[in-house]
Amino acid sequence: MPDQATADPAAAPENTGPENTAPENTAPENPAPGNSAPGFAAPDFADQEIAAVEIVGVRTVDLAPEPAWPGADAADLAGLVTELIGDQAGAWDLDGHIPREIVRELGRAGVLCAQAPAAHGGLGLSNVDAGELTAHVGALCSSTRSLMTSQGMAAWTVERFGDDAQRAEYLGRLTAGETAGVAFSEPGAGSDLSGMATRIETEGDSVVVTGQKVWVTGAAYADLLVVFGRVGEGAGAVLVPTDAPGVTVTRVPDPLGCRAAGHADVLLDGVRLPADHVLAGAGLPLEWLVTSALTYGRLSVAWGCVGILRGCLAETTRHARTRQQFGRPLADHQLVARHLAELHVAERAATALCAEAARGRDAGGPEHVSAAVTAKHFAAGAAVRGAASAVQVLASAGARDGHPVARAHRDAKLMEIIEGSTEIGQLLLADHALAVWS
Ligand SMILES: Cc1cc2nc3c(=O)[nH]c(=O)nc-3n(C[C@H](O)[C@H](O)[C@H](O)COP(=O)(O)OP(=O)(O)OC[C@H]3O[C@@H](n4cnc5c(N)ncnc54)[C@H](O)[C@@H]3O)c2cc1C
């Protein structure tokens, strides 16, 4: 049997309360990486239960499950989201923009960072409730879900690594309608974030930020960016207003998917800010900071993939019931029915993995770190395969830009790249399997 009792150093940054973010309180004996690759040793998820990948006892009930909203807040928010997004996601995708007033309204309603604590104006949703809300948004519009993931990651980073004053200031702003993106990636630092070169340097009462970030989701809408960079021998995160002198935000032209998510490259040309814009956790190892933010992001993306699968199920089942070929509905052709069955199983299995990771995160145990990698890895692959199946079932009816399954097909592919690519996820999970089972 695997040793389930071994401590999980990768989870340490997640398990240390915000009040314990000083380096001396949080330094692990074996600091573990985030976006692991050459340059970062893979994290040791020794305490993770590998049973998370065994989908045991999931009943298959119907082909269009209604989410069971455990909390009234989440159900209300889901209704608001449905109303605000309506049937506009396809048009936003083609246009490459979500109307700013919609983004603001979602922000003010608390949808974009629904887990932010009530003490700072947030809704304080549990991971489970926030996850179902994320899936709901993901089923309607992956671009909007992308903004949720980014804003949630930004809020979590402030909550996790900020001090009391920073939490009050920035969480207050993010729950009042301002929007934020999170900037790790650079031209020379993708999977291997140890190549990060952005510098965050204190000069008297100021801090100067110099570097180049790429593909920052939501940056085109953002009031604030949480920018990760080098602080002395360690790393840190700094809150950079997008209108600060020296900040240039340039949209990524024509992204493959999530086209309205406002991806942008960001040039930081000696951006001078008050020193209190640097989050208090500065100086920690880079891998600690990014692991913490990425764990949030991975679970959020995984729920977004559940949403993609649900959207595809809705489209394919409706089409397969109504479209007739060879004298009967497509659903009566067994090879078409197989697509529906596989989609259904994918959605149920991805939901089960996400729920397990969310429950683990709510419980605060170390297992949620690897559970989030597992959920994201499975859900992203399932969304890619599921969306391809959906296009196959719709065939010519879905084979045009603007159709929900065509959009799902493009959006899903990106889920295999972000928050740690499929290959990086595999490296992390293989390492975890070795630690637990060998
Ligand atoms: C839609 C989208 C949204 C994004 N949003 C953000 C954001 O909000 N903030 C942000 O900071 N960044 C963001 N990114 C950047 C994203 O994090 C990176 O694209 C991702 O980390 C991969 O880096 P890369 O593109 O440089 O690929 P590379 O690191 O160059 O990798 C290229 C390929 O090689 C593989 N590879 C690399 N190393 C290994 C290895 N050791 N073993 C096996 N295979 C390997 C990868 O899996 C990939 O298939 C976004 C990207 C996209 C596409």
Q: Could you give the domains of the chain? A: 9-16+32-179+286-438 (1.20.140.10), 181-277 (2.40.110.10)
Q: How many residues does the chain have?
A: 438
Q: Are strands 264-274 and 206-216 parallel, antiparallel or unpaired?
A: antiparallel
* Cα dihedral across residues 432, 185, 115, 93: positive or negative: negative
Assess whether the C-beta atom of 41 lies below 6 angstroms from ligand 1: no
Residue 183 CB less than 6 A away from ligand 1:
yes
Determine if ligand 1 sits within 6 Å of the CB of residue 423. Answer: yes
Shortest CA distance to 307 belongs to which of 232, 206, 407?
407
Is the shortest distance between the CB of 220 and ligand 1 below 6 Å? no
Rounded to 10°, the helix 72-85/127-140 angle is 20
Q: Is 219 in the pocket of ligand 1 (CB under 6 A)?
A: no
Question: For the chain, what is the total number of helices (H) and then of strands (E)?
Answer: 14, 9
Name the helix (H) or strand (E) containing 54: none
For ligand 1, whether the C-beta of 42 sits within 6 Å is no
Residues 204, 210 contacting (CB under 8 angstroms): no
| Tokens standing for residue 141 | 């519009």
pTM for the whole structure: 0.87
Measured from the CB, is residue 200 less than 6 Å from ligand 1?
A: no
Angle at 301 between CA 342 and CA 200, to 5 degrees: 160
Rounded CA-CA distance 123/195 in Å is 36
Pairing of strands 180-183, 247-251: unpaired
What does the pLDDT read at residue 47? 32
For ligand 1, whether the C-beta of 298 sits within 6 Å is: no
Distance CA 31, CA 43 (A): 8
Q: What are phi and psi of 379, to 5 degrees?
A: -65, -40
Rounded to 5 degrees, φ, ψ at 267 are -95, 130
- Residue 335's alpha-carbon distances to 64, 343, 397, in angstroms, are 20, 13, 18
Please indicate whether residue 92, judged by its CB atom, sits closer than 6 Å to ligand 1: no
CA angle 230, 232, 233 (to 5 degrees): 90
Kindly give the distance from the C-alpha atom of residue 229 to the centroid of ligand 1, in angstroms, as a whole number.
Answer: 17
The secondary element (H helix, E strand) that includes residue 379 is helix 368-394
Query: Is residue 157 lining ligand 1, measured as CB closer than 6 Å?
Result: no
Query: What three-state secondary structure class fits 365?
Result: coil
Instruction: Write out the two tokens for 71.
Output: 């909390």
Compute the distance from residue 286 Cα to the ligand 1 centre, in Å: 17
Please state, in angstroms and as integers, the Cα–Cα distance from residue 416 to each residue in 20, 92, 134, 406, following that order. Answer: 33, 22, 18, 17
DSSP 275-319: GGGB-TTTTB-HHHHHHHHHHHHHHHHHHHHHHHHHHHHHHHHHH
Residue nearest atom 41 of ligand 1, based on CA coordinates: 37
List, in order, residues 6 or more apart from 102 with CB less than 8 Å away.
84, 85
73-to-285, 298, 324 alpha-carbon distances in Å? 37, 23, 41
* Lookup result for tokens 């399954």: 405
Ligand 1 centre from 191 Cα, in Å? 5
* Ligand 1 center–CA 214 separation, angstroms: 10
What does the DSSP 8-state code read for residue 49?
-
Q: Which amino acid is it at 299? A: L
* CB-based contact 229:185 (threshold 8 Å): no
Ligand 1: atom nearest CA of 37 is 41
Q: Ligand 1, residues 36, 191, 428: which to mutate, most atoms within 8 A of Cβ?
A: 191
Report d(CA 376, CA 425) in Å as an integer: 8
Phi, psi angle pair for 227, to nearest 5°:
-105, 125
Kindly give the distance from the C-alpha atom of residue 258 to the centroid of ligand 1, in angstroms, as a whole number.
Answer: 16
CB 227 within 8 A of CB 268: yes
Nearest 10 degrees: Cα torsion 407, 409, 413, 419: 50
CB-CB contact of 98 with 140 (8 Å): no
Predicted pLDDT of residue 174: 97
Check if the beta carbon of residue 240 is closer than 8 Å to that of residue 289: no
Q: How far is the CA of 59 from the centre of ligand 1 (A)?
A: 36
CB of 263 shorter than 6 A to ligand 1: yes
- Spell out the per-residue pLDDT of the chain, length 438, in tens: 333 332 333 333 443 333 333 333 333 333 333 333 333 333 333 333 222 222 222 222 333 344 444 455 677 889 999 999 999 999 999 999 999 999 999 999 999 999 999 999 999 999 999 999 999 999 999 999 999 999 999 999 999 999 999 999 999 999 999 999 999 999 999 999 999 999 999 999 999 999 999 999 999 999 999 999 999 999 999 999 999 999 999 999 999 999 999 999 999 999 999 999 999 888 899 998 999 999 999 999 999 999 999 999 999 999 999 999 999 999 999 999 999 999 999 999 999 999 999 999 999 988 999 999 999 999 999 999 999 999 999 999 999 998 999 999 999 999 999 999 999 999 999 999 999 999
Smallest CA separation from ligand 1 atom 12, residue: 185
- Ligand 1 atom closest to the Cα of residue 421 is 47
Distances from the Cα of 313 to the Cα of 99, 123, 177, 306, 393, angstroms = 27, 30, 33, 10, 11
Residue 224 bridge partners (DSSP): 180, 241
